Structure 1
Amino acid sequence: MPIMEDESGITTVSRRRFIQASAALAAVPLVVPQFVSAATETPTPSASPAAAQDTGRVVPTCSTFDCGGKCDIRAHVDQGIVTRITTLPDGELDEAMPIMRACIRGRGYRKFVYHPDRLKYPMKRVGKRGEGKFEKISWDEATTLIADNLKRITAKYGPASRYVHVGTAVSGGTFSGDKMVRRLLNLTGGYLEYYHSVSMGNTAAATPYTYGTPATGSSLDTLLETPLVILWGHNTNETIFGHANHYFQQMKRNGTRFIVIDPRYSDTVASLADQWIPLLPTTDNALMDAMMYVIITEDLHDKDFIARYTLGFDEASMPEGVPANESLVAYLTGAKDGVAKTPEWAEPITKVPANTIRQLAREYATAKPAALIQGWGPQRHICGERTARGSTLLATITGNVGKKGSWAAGYGGIGNRKFMSEPESIENPIAAKISVMNWMQAAEDASKVTPEQGLKGADKLDTNIRMLFTLAGNYLANQNPDINKAAKLLEDESKIEFIVASDLYLTPSARYADLLLPETSFMERWNIGETWGTGNYVILSEKLVEPEFERRSDYEWLREVAAKLGVEQAFSEGRDEKQWIEHIVETTRAAMPAENMPSFAQLQVQRRHLFKSEPYVAFADNIRDPQNNPFKTPSGKIEIFSKRLYDMNNPEIPALSHYVPAHEGPQDALTGKYPLQLITWKGKNRANSTQYANPWLQEAQTQKLWINPQDAARRGIAQGDNVRIHNDRGISMVPAEVTPRIIPGVVALQAGAWWQPDASGVDRGGCANVLSSTRITPLAKGNSHQTMLVEVEKA
């Protein structure tokens, strides 16, 4: 029996097709708020025209979410439906560059794609912004609305009033709607662009002041014989951070000793660590200072390395024009402030025992080589730039830069290498750029966005943001710090006049759209999946099934908008989505002939391509031959002391990275009102907030507040009690997990939970971003949303 439509226009399905659909859906209740929307109808997966011949295929593919591993997904396709997901068999692993096997997220994709709450039709807002009330419209109406508003707003305010928000849920693919909407805007006058990576932008901005370029990681295969690895706020087992776990397990078998520094006893600590060293958040630099004090005063530093490659270690190696007692040795010994940075000095600040600090310093200095690998969590604090740079100083004074088995700084990729070409760019006529942290200012009052506040490329902004695109992103009103402040701005229709959102679900951010569009999943479009820098391969992400209902890829509707703006040929160059992927593959082949990239036809057969390369050690050439490969700093050396930072004369950006008490840190007077530091972590069951709406993954890890038994007892909180977490920015309520896996004085929530405000504005979803701050970091003008003080009480 075929799929039919009854007299009311409601789609019905045959019993056979119902059984097929039910197998794919495996309905589990979704614990998210229900919004008034045309998206709540029951889904009816239907077969493509070729479904009769599409029986029993098993297709190796990958997702294109913001997930760096690009795990191998084996999609079982039967009559136009993905009925099952398996993964790469053990026997197919290539030890030279292992393709990742699917983790819990990868194995859960089918439920995420086949879920009744997925958006189905283009819709326009009919209620107030944020209410989530929409009505179904046609695609012609939708693309006409976009084209008309682009013309109107551009004519009235200029092209700089147009803004494309952060959208990372497609950043794992070569081709994406957020890239193509930028192409369209550049063809029609440009747009206000942002800079800064929310993930690791503070590290990227800080480490060039030590090395001259952003500190990149070595390839992980260079660590296989390293005797000691210190993971500093680096939780690879839960984030599934690229290929780290594969290599770390090999290293563990080889006898590598792992020390994990983290306020939380993470799954990484449980599975890898020989020693766990917890410390208070934002005090990382105090621990680093005390470690350097021990290393230098006990004569454990690498004198030859320091003499040959560095600037600013002691008074004899300082740049000209700097007064006395500004060197590293002078700071650590207290020559200027009278305070020696001993382990006893650091213990009350960090809560790490002095003897533990001595042991840690001695181990790091005497293990030859050693790798101190800092994750991205510590640098998301207000002091993150200092912390990122502090790790470069430790690596430098122990000679752990540019050598096999060592590590130079924060976690990075293999030279940040990128393999695939991208659609040819069209220059943005608008020179001004804002930090991603400036967008609210730019929408509220653009005159407040000054060069001192993060503006680049211009002295001032000529207009506020008036039109905003958020494609495959939930940053607008979920991942954005201080959600309540963001929501208030978004609700004011006199500010941003038109918001276009495209997504799979009615996310908290999508609730604020004026026009809401149903995007396709990676199973329903063509792409190339790219690993982060820890991997050396690409995987074809093939269109496996036809989109249901009226879902369309962003590229398809953007092409229609381009036609209504009169620039379709320049925009599309006559290519559909699949032809763009073919073009990208062939362009890459021509640009990289030595890599033996397969043709697009060959790639459709072999599914993936490995770019095998020699082991890579960051800064190896600079250390091997400094005469011909100087560091790209003003001095040509590793700058322990940065004259560039010194000349900024900002106490929060010291020329010599060291401990400075943080705003909303444990020494802030605000602790009298809000005594607990709240941190977040990236969990195994979602990538940021992507897949929050997957009930299988909600079962895997529930949203709770981790609180130490000592802190819980003082507040009369027992296991499972509903607790109220609050500060001056917001309130969130969630059950308590009373556990010694978090240290006293610190509480923790998994990041990425969807914001679920009740009628009084209290979040019921455990979304930490109602509590986080929009304060920007002093150097990068970046995010500091990990730094927040709260109080917790039994609800």
Structure 2
Amino acid sequence: MQESMPRISRRSFVKTTGALGALAAAGGAATATGSLFGVGAAHADADAPDEVVWGHCAINCPSRCPLKFHVKDDEIVWVEADTSSDAAFEDRQARACLRGRSYRRWMNSPDRLSYPLKRVGARGEGKFERISWEEAIDTIAGELTRVIESYGNDAVYIDYATGVEGVTTGQPFQRLLNLCGGYLDYYGSYSAAQLAYMQATVFGASGGGSALKTAEDAELVLVFGSSPIETRQGGLHTHYDYVALREKTKGKIIVIDPRFNDSLSGHSDQWLPINPGTDAALVAAIAYELIAADRIDVDFLHTYCSGFDEESMPEAARGKHLSYKDYVLGEGYDKVEKSPEWAAPITGIDADAIRALAAEIAEASPLFVTQGWGPQRRSNGEWNFWSICLLPLLVGQAGKPGTNNGNRESRFIIPLTDFPSGENPVEASISCFLFTDAIDHGTEMTKTKDGVRGADRLSNNIKFLINYAGNCLTNQHSDINKAHDILADESKCEFILAVDTVMCDSAKYADILLPDLFRSEQVSLASTGSNTAYIVTAQPCTSPKFERKTAYEMCEMLAEKLGVRDEFTEGKTQAEWIEELYEADREEDPELPSYAELVEMGVYKRERPGNIALDKFVADPVENALATPSGKIEIFSQKIAKAMEEWEFAEDETVYPVPAYVPEWHGVETTTDEFPLALSGFHYRGRVHSSWGSIELLKEANPQELWINPVDAESRGIKQGDRVSVKNEFGETQLLAKVTPRIVPGTVAMAQGAWHDADMQGDRIDRGGCINTLTTQRPSPLAKGNPQHSNICNVSKA
């Protein structure tokens, strides 16, 4: 059947059917075949070889896989992964996963945006009409000028977005706004805000983890809530290195996770199922056992850490039973001994199993403890991260060969200079997770209550918002129903500009929507790596189709209208900027090939020995003191203790200055009769967040399912493949049931990132299985981060 598929080139087809018809027909031809990779070499004309153009995957997956686009008649005919044969790396090809290999389906999608659009319906309806670029630029520039004159530059905001990655990404819009007086900035991320806050708090600037290569020498590898096989597929990234670790290590691998995740396949010796959000309770019980058995490395803790026991506490905090040891032994804080019997009903792990794990940890040398971003993306995520990092410190297994500091593994990256955005004259910034609060009631947001930085409070609500290459206005933001109500109210945020490749859910809220080019349709560079670092290049694989433009071109047009074009461009095109910045990097790193050589190579690779977290600090803790108040690793945090005195917390928020267990607002200990199940999210092999969420063949291969244990399914009359309804106080979503013992009883889980599919003017029931229909916009207490995995719900047959 594939042999009979029509070969449609844009140039010939536009002549007979017009531009809009060509888009639909070309997209249809691209997606009708059953292959994920496109038509394939077998379908190329025999008398004309393909032109091969290097490009790269540029979505928020750190693998950044190199891609070879096979092009004929200015159309992509198939996509090939890295098959480079450099002798030094012949066994390390950065092969793309099925997502990257299906790029052609996305780039040629019939839903691809091709022209500037203006909203004609209510925000969120997705009703638009085509307009000219001139009208679009005039409208955007006029609205930006009006908002700045009426409110000030701090009423302008660029939303957090991760839909593209490369040295130019969203910086053109940042540069443009900085030339116009600045904008309200954000800090943090949706992925790892709690981790980033605590990493700086506990370790200062030296909090990164060891390389996975280091774990090959470990006797015991302890993994908390991490699945690189699913979260970082393809390329020479963590997926590749984790598989290598499973094959090479002689040590035992234990994975602690609510799910039997895909990374447990192969050489993983034990799955220790744990109730989600209870990692800190498990660590406290292990600490209790280690103290009872006199297996704590007290000398290590006194030399390198502050706050484990009374002797190592800061002077001002002594004599008050505020140490971590006092917390564990029940002599401080809540006065409860953190024994395995205490932890068992909380964690779901038998007390004897906790004792056995503690004994293994005490015996293991080297011990490699690592964690993913799942445990910290919770309402108590700051303490989960902190506790897991404490575990190797208790037994002196940090800063030495084969060890880690408990953080996520580090990555080796060749640094490249990004397109310069310039200095932002606006000093205030907010947590990226709180942008809807800043739209709704920004003038009520303060430093001590909402984590405003650079100012004591915000002086304006957000009135002008730019959403470039992102789906975080709704789909990836929490409590979609609440977000919709805020965004749909035009009296709040008065103008929204969105730039994207397709009509995702967030794009429906734009007042003006502009059509973007993929990174492989323009000149681009990206740098990434894990044990092996690589730079990948992109040259335009086809000419720009229809009226799509790069972000740089859009901003250049806006800069012209706003009178700052010369300052914006400095006389250079985007391609000239990239080459100039790269050659400046090359002056600092002479090993790099010339820009021309790099473009010819397509991908440049480099290796380094696996680094060891904290090795310099452990070798000389005086000369290499950490950037913390004590100069040591903070087990008692003076920074958090100060925040407890100065910040405003909700009445039901518990904040500890030690890595204690804090029950979640919506978790296993706070379920109700109405919502008796905990609900957690996870990353999925079929998408990167919501990217690729509209590719039908990938959706067919990776259906959106609710993982539910047979015990919970049977009591609800739910069978494998049934369509189920998941409800809580925030909304309702529907999806297929995956009945499996691979998830702990009492907890259900669904992959985050599925496209929201609800009638927002009707019943608002999401039929796409989007978890953010059910999540809260309440931020975590310290980092003001995204607690997307902390939820409770009920499940029934739809």
Task: Establish whether TM, by shorter chain, passes 0.5.
Answer: yes
Deviation digits for residues 615-650 of structure 1, max 9, x if unmatched? 321211111112211122222222222233233337
- State the match for 1:521 in structure 2: 518
- State the match for 2:42 in structure 1: none
Distance 1:552 1:92, change over 3 A: same
Unpaired runs of 5+ in structure 1? 31-50
Distance 1:593 1:269, change over 3 A: closer
Distance 2:34 2:120 in 1: 30
The residue type equivalent to 1:781 in the other structure is K
Deviation digits for residues 402-442 of structure 1, max 9, x if unmatched? 11211113215348x56001223311111111111221121
Are the equivalent residues in 2 in contact too, given 1:53–1:79 (CA < 8 A)?
no
Deviation digits for residues 554-585 of structure 1, max 9, x if unmatched? 11111111101111111111222211221221
Aligned pair partner of 2:32 in 26, 33, 41: 26
Secondary structure of 1:529's aligned partner: strand
- State the match for 1:79 in structure 2: 73
Distance 1:500 1:459, change over 3 A: same
Secondary structure of 2:765's aligned partner: coil
Cα distance, 1:463 vs structure 2: 1.4
Distance 1:553 1:740 in 2: 47
Distance 2:749 2:17 in 1: 50
Distance 1:387 1:404, change over 3 A: same
Aligned pair partner of 2:145 in 151, 155, 158: 151
Cα distance, 1:6 vs structure 2: 6.3
The residue type equivalent to 1:573 in the other structure is E
Q: Is residue 370 of structure 1 aligned with residue 367 of structure 2? A: yes
Instruction: Give me the TM-score of the superposition, normalised by structure 2.
Output: 0.92
Deviation digits for residues 125-181 of structure 1, max 9, x if unmatched? 1111111111111111111111111111111111111110011011x21112x2110
Are the equivalent residues in 2 in contact too, given 1:23–1:83 (CA < 8 A)?
no
- State the match for 1:741 in structure 2: 742
Aligned pair partner of 2:222 in 230, 233, 240: 230
Distance 1:169 1:52, change over 3 A: farther
The residue type equivalent to 2:175 in the other structure is R
- State the match for 1:632 in structure 2: 627
Q: Is residue 334 of structure 1 aligned with residue 333 of structure 2? A: no
Aligned pair partner of 1:399 in 386, 396, 401: 396
Distance 1:92 1:353 in 2: 51
Q: Is residue 126 of structure 1 aligned with residue 120 of structure 2? A: yes
Deviation digits for residues 744-773 of structure 1, max 9, x if unmatched? 110111110011003311000000001001
The residue type equivalent to 1:357 in the other structure is I
Distance 1:164 1:534 in 2: 33
Secondary structure of 2:265's aligned partner: helix
Distance 1:5 1:629, change over 3 A: closer
- State the match for 2:683 in structure 1: 682
Q: Is residue 257 of structure 1 aligned with residue 252 of structure 2? A: yes
- State the match for 1:296 in structure 2: 291
- State the match for 1:461 in structure 2: 458
Aligned pair partner of 2:554 in 553, 557, 582: 557
Are the equivalent residues in 1 in contact too, given 2:185–2:430 (CA < 8 A)?
yes
Cα distance, 1:10 vs structure 2: 5.7
Aligned CA RMSD, in angstroms, stands at 2.5
Q: Is residue 792 of structure 1 aligned with residue 795 of structure 2? A: yes
Aligned pair partner of 1:354 in 351, 354, 361: 351
Q: Which moved more, 1:330-339 or 1:370-379?
A: 330-339
Distance 1:29 1:65 in 2: 21
Q: Number of aligned pairs?
A: 766
Q: Which moved more, 1:461-470 or 1:77-86?
A: 77-86
Q: Which moved more, 1:20-29 or 1:715-724?
A: 20-29
- State the match for 2:482 in structure 1: 485
Are the equivalent residues in 2 in contact too, given 1:63–1:529 (CA < 8 A)?
no
Secondary structure of 1:719's aligned partner: coil
- State the match for 1:623 in structure 2: 618
- State the match for 2:574 in structure 1: 577
Are the equivalent residues in 2 in contact too, given 1:280–1:350 (CA < 8 A)?
yes
Distance 1:616 1:507 in 2: 40
Distance 1:408 1:149 in 2: 49
Distance 1:161 1:88 in 2: 45
Aligned pair partner of 1:448 in 441, 444, 447: 444
The residue type equivalent to 1:791 in the other structure is N
Distance 1:74 1:626, change over 3 A: same
Distance 1:546 1:7, change over 3 A: closer
Cα distance, 1:5 vs structure 2: 5.1
Q: Is residue 605 of structure 1 aligned with residue 620 of structure 2? A: no
- State the match for 1:37 in structure 2: none
Give the % identical residues: 38
Are the equivalent residues in 2 in contact too, given 1:238–1:682 (CA < 8 A)?
yes
Q: Which moved more, 1:723-732 or 1:72-81?
A: 72-81
Secondary structure of 2:796's aligned partner: strand
Are the equivalent residues in 1 in contact too, given 2:304–2:632 (CA < 8 A)?
yes
Are the equivalent residues in 2 in contact too, given 1:73–1:88 (CA < 8 A)?
yes
Cα distance, 1:310 vs structure 2: 2.0
The residue type equivalent to 1:203 in the other structure is L
Are the equivalent residues in 1 in contact too, given 2:55–2:537 (CA < 8 A)?
yes
Aligned pair partner of 1:3 in 12, 32, 42: 12
Distance 2:611 2:278 in 1: 32
Distance 1:279 1:123, change over 3 A: same
Q: Which moved more, 1:397-406 or 1:238-247?
A: 238-247
- State the match for 1:318 in structure 2: 313
Cα distance, 1:725 vs structure 2: 0.7
Q: Is residue 387 of structure 1 aligned with residue 380 of structure 2? A: no
Distance 1:500 1:740 in 2: 45
Distance 2:104 2:346 in 1: 47
Instruction: Give me the TM-score of the superposition, normalised by structure 1.
Output: 0.92
Cα distance, 1:453 vs structure 2: 0.9
Are the equivalent residues in 1 in contact too, given 2:172–2:421 (CA < 8 A)?
no
- State the match for 1:240 in structure 2: 232
Distance 1:6 1:249, change over 3 A: closer
Are the equivalent residues in 2 in contact too, given 1:54–1:79 (CA < 8 A)?
no
- State the match for 1:45 in structure 2: none
Cα distance, 1:97 vs structure 2: 9.8
- State the match for 1:174 in structure 2: 167
Distance 1:328 1:524, change over 3 A: same
- State the match for 1:718 in structure 2: 719
Deviation digits for residues 462-516 of structure 1, max 9, x if unmatched? 2111111101000001100000000001111111111111111100000111111
Distance 1:314 1:792, change over 3 A: same
Distance 2:90 2:654 in 1: 44
The residue type equivalent to 1:185 in the other structure is L
The residue type equivalent to 1:173 in the other structure is G
Are the equivalent residues in 2 in contact too, given 1:682–1:751 (CA < 8 A)?
yes
Q: Is residue 772 of structure 1 aligned with residue 778 of structure 2? A: no
Cα distance, 1:401 vs structure 2: 1.7
Secondary structure of 2:315's aligned partner: coil
Q: Is residue 205 of structure 1 aligned with residue 197 of structure 2? A: yes
Cα distance, 1:330 vs structure 2: 2.0
Q: Which moved more, 1:604-613 or 1:742-751?
A: 604-613
The residue type equivalent to 2:143 in the other structure is N
Are the equivalent residues in 2 in contact too, given 1:215–1:409 (CA < 8 A)?
no
- State the match for 2:648 in structure 1: none
Distance 1:11 1:764, change over 3 A: closer
Are the equivalent residues in 2 in contact too, given 1:376–1:410 (CA < 8 A)?
no
Aligned pair partner of 2:210 in 218, 238, 252: 218
Are the equivalent residues in 2 in contact too, given 1:122–1:137 (CA < 8 A)?
yes
Deviation digits for residues 303-336 of structure 1, max 9, x if unmatched? 3322322222222222212233222222222223
Distance 1:61 1:211, change over 3 A: same
Are the equivalent residues in 2 in contact too, given 1:55–1:79 (CA < 8 A)?
no
Cα distance, 1:26 vs structure 2: 3.2
